[in-house]
Amino acid sequence: MIRGFRNLAAGLGVGVLVVLGEGVPDPYEAILRSWLEASTHLNRFQAEFQQTRHLKALTQPLVSTGRVWFSAPDRFRWELGDPPQSVAVRSGDTLLILSPRLRRAESYSLGGNPTGPARDLMGLLDGAFPRSIEDWKGRFEITGVSTNQGMLRLDLRPRSPAARKLMPVLIVGLDAGTLGLRLTEMIMVDGSRIRSEFGTLRTNLPIPSELFSLEVDPAWKLTRNESPP
């Protein structure tokens, strides 16, 4: 299931959780504070994305499209493929991962594993719309900030040792003018890379509540787990 959590984090744009590490020089601190402040007014989010996965075992990258929905504080839905090959739905402390082709589902409780790497990644996903700088200090350190072709690039390193065992480097690309999310790239511990490039982001629009439903077709095989691996 570790691979599934990698895809989940990448597809959802985990990179939009940015914290201010100590020593961030001006003017970058002002830019980041402005972006974080704007995020507090975003309660819903939906977007399409293109995901490119560079795996060490393959000579050619794998390219897929996907969609993501988020509703504060803790509901999201992530789909990869058209029709979806993988679906992840979170509502509160429950995560449901669906494999439509196999007609299988796995349910996880997120409340009982506060230190595991998957829990750390889910914590990062909670930060898609960070509410305050104080809440997220210590999550990341910023190792580099640059601009290129109208994009502000942030190079991040997770502070959590458990998170770094899966993802030692996270790159976030923001529109230099609007600070809207343009891309995320996760560099995994084995050297593989997962890059998600986002299309038009739609914010604060109504999202049907059924998209976040945790109900599973009785004909599917359902496995229940206390916490992610």
What's the pLDDT band for 2 if we cut at 50, 70, 90? very low
pLDDT of residue 209: 93
pLDDT of residue 114: 45
- How far is Cα 182 from Cα 201, in angstroms, rounded to an integer? 9
This prediction has a pTM of 0.75
Domain boundaries, the chain: 2-225
CB 164 within 8 A of CB 157: yes
Give the residue, 185 or 20, on which the prediction is more confident: 185
Judged by DSSP in three states, 219 sits in: coil
The architecture of the domain spanning 2-225 is Clam (2.50)
Read off the pLDDT of residues 116-132 as tens digits, 9 standing for 90 and up: 545 555 555 554 455 66
Ramachandran angles phi, psi of 33, nearest 5°: -65, -40
Give the residue, 31 or 83, on which the prediction is more confident: 83
- How far is Cα 48 from Cα 62, in angstroms, rounded to an integer? 17
Ramachandran angles phi, psi of 22, nearest 5°: -65, 145
What's the pLDDT band for 18 if we cut at 50, 70, 90? very low
- How far is Cα 120 from Cα 186, in angstroms, rounded to an integer? 15
Show the DSSP H helices in 76-143 as ranges: 117-126, 133-136
Closest to 156 in 3D by CA, of 110, 177, 187: 187
What's the pLDDT band for 172 if we cut at 50, 70, 90? confident
